[in-house]
Structure 1
Amino acid sequence: MRTSAVSPVVTGAIPMNLENAVRAKTAPPLPQTAAVAPVIPGVVDSPAHVRRAEAGEQWISRLLRAGSLCSGGLFLASVALEFLPQSETVHVAIDVLRKGAASALLVTPVVRLVVAGTSLGLRGEWKYALYAAGVLGLLAVAVGAGLHA
């Protein structure tokens, strides 16, 4: 009588007969360094294209982080000045620091849009680069109209 070799029992696993002529084939594991990028129709997924996409995302990440840290630092400096003896100079400094913090907080997304539009244009995604330019144009019109009001 012939005995069959069965894989060790693992909870939840299905035992396989290893002496069978048909063997289960598994796909080789992906290398850990493989970059997974979104598939964009009409764009060749070359390594240079992937590197440019990752570089653009890193620039945007750094920009948003720097803008928020700058704004937060200016606001904390204005809060620290609250503990100084009250004078006109201190009030002016607090006002300037808080306006600077608010301006940095408002300008950061606009600069992010410029970087994203430039990055998209460099990658050849002209439709999205034009969208970014259109949004910047509308923002410029809105600010221009608000200054005359």
Structure 2
Amino acid sequence: MEPYIVAVDHPSLFFLVGPFVTELRNESRRFGRVDAANPKPFPSLVRRVVDPTRTRFGVMSEHGLVAMASLSIDGEISMAVAAGHRGEGHGTKLLIHVIQVAEHAEFGRVFMTSSRRSRPISRLGSRLGWTPVDITPGRLDLFLDLPRRRSA
């Protein structure tokens, strides 16, 4: 089964969010060399990803819901991928989809906030043309200006 993107807010998919969140919350919280490249999502990130006031999307695979992203009305994108599925391209596919949704909704800019520990988000942002901005020690914001459509 090829992974595909779903609108997680569809009533038939509500039951998938709980197990996904539980998996994120049960990840190891060690910060040694092994976990440095695969840090556990912060609780605040998990809350933003599953916040029902935001537009939410997920990646479905034969393993169920393996990634989620959300888009707020101010253009903030939050994204989490289950530990066992990181590095498989799900985050890239999901982020590109959310960017396309934001473009269609005529957002001028989207942004993500990340910890400095999250090298995968920094690399992904760099590959997709995001501009990194160091806000405070340990925090990185990534911005992407979106093309504006001309109204007739």
Q: Do they fold alike, i.e. is TM over 0.5? A: no
Please, what TM-score do these two structures have when normalized by structure 1?
0.27
Q: TM-score, normalised by structure 2?
A: 0.27
**Greater strand proportion:** 2
Work out which of the two has the higher radius of gyration on C-alpha atoms and give 1 or 2: 1
